């Protein structure tokens, strides 16, 4: 549900793509999520986001933030997009705009995008191609995987999603769009995956968004502006955009807390979300609308804190090298093992809590 906007009029000497002046104003979700405040704390440096989608067309607002990936529909490095969906998702995650403050701005403008072109058009998708895309992304050492799509289940895809979760990768997926998707689709419905619903400009549940007991968080999904192919910009509505925004939020957290294991990253995101709808978790908002600043600053008790000393995870993390690049994945893996042992099975608590009615520990504001 993405519309490519034609180039807008601009001065012929402008060093930025046509329409760059207007798109920043149109990105209403930036002020809604207080992105400026969040960027004073974290900008996603050191984090790689795997993006299995339609590829990513190099855009001036993404210059320097795109890694060479792979094209599973043919040959190439994934830096090609004839549909626009993948480029839009990449912009929502990691666009940095232009030096003069124009252009699209992503949630994590210093994160890197690893494009995995698993399909040529945004509609539909094959489970086997998505599984292969996830496998490739995990092998490349990504920290986050953003799946802005709903795909049929397959045994291989289920095994691959589990593999990614065990590899300490945060997997974020779209709930799906009505009327095609009434219930939460796959892989968002997979336990341990962050299932993302959508909201409108007022923070209300967006009618386009699927709902269900698997929903974890909600984010803006209506009239979302971003980058597109050919140096243009796009406007889209749907949980795809909300998912990319949440993936950007995860990148901010992983950058600020590089040794925090994936399940604690997710816990921090859900525990600090702004509760909407009925008190506690509900089928439209999950635990609530994401709060970037709170997710980066709040004192969040670790998972399993009810039965484990809260200082144990801190001690385990303190022994791990503070390295978010290069051997950072190995360091984070060692830190993860220490935290999981110290937490006495906190990961299993988190996986069960995904389906529970009780919310995670709330953060006072």
Distance from the first to the final alpha carbon of the chain: 36
3-state secondary structure of 171: strand
3-state secondary structure of 137: helix
Q: Could you list the active site residues? A: 53, 85, 240
* Strand runs labelled E in 33-143: 48-53, 70-71, 112-117
| Long-range contact set of residues 318-323: C-beta below 8 Å, sequence gap at least 24 | 320/259, 322/258, 322/259, 323/258
* Distance from C-alpha of 162 to C-alpha of 185, rounded to nearest angstrom: 16
* Distance from C-alpha of 309 to C-alpha of 231, rounded to nearest angstrom: 52
Residue keyed to tokens 């996603």: 44
* Residue 34 zone, left/alpha/beta (φ > 0; ψ -120 to 50; rest): left
């Amino acid at each position: 549900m993405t519309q490519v906007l034609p180039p807008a009029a601009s001065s012929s000497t402008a060093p930025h793509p046509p329409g760059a002046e207007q798109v920043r104003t149109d990105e209403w979700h930036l002020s809604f999520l207080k992105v400026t405040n969040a960027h004073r704390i974290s900008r996603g440096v050191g984090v790689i986001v795997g993006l299995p989608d339609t590829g990513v067309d190099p855009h001036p607002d993404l210059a320097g933030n795109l890694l060479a990936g792979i094209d599973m529909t043919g040959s190439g490095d994934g830096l090609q997009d004839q549909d626009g969906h993948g480029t839009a998702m990449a912009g929502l995650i990691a666009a940095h705009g232009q030096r003069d403050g124009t252009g699209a701005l992503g949630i994590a403008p210093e994160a890197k995008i690893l494009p995995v072109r698993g399909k040529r058009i945004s509609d539909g998708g094959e489970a086997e191609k998505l599984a292969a895309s996830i496998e490739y992304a995990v092998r490349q050492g990504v920290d986050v995987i953003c799946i802005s799509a709903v795909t049929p289940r397959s045994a291989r895809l289920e095994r691959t999603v589990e593999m990614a979760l065990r590899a300490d990768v945060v997997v974020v997926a779209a709930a799906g769009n009505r009327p095609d998707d009434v219930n939460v689709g796959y892989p968002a419905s997979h336990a341990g995956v962050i299932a993302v619903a959508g909201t409108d400009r007022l923070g209300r549940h967006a009618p386009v968004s699927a709902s269900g007991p698997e929903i974890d968080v909600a984010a803006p999904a209506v009239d979302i502006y971003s980058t597109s192919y050919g140096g243009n910009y796009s406007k889209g509505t749907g949980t795809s955009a909300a998912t990319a925004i949440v993936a950007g939020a995860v990148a901010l957290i992983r950058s600020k807390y590089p040794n925090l294991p994936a399940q604690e990253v997710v816990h921090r995101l859900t525990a600090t979300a702004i509760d909407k709808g009925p008190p506690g978790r509900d089928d439209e908002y999950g635990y609530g609308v994401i709060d970037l600043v709170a997710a980066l600053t709040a004192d969040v008790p670790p998972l399993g804190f009810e039965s484990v000393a809260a200082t144990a995870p801190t001690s385990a993390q303190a022994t791990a090298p503070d390295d978010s690049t290069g051997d950072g994945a190995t360091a984070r893996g060692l830190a993860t093992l220490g935290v999981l042992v110290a937490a006495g099975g906190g990961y299993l608590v988190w996986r069960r809590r995904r389906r529970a009615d009780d919310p995670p520990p709330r953060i006072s504001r």
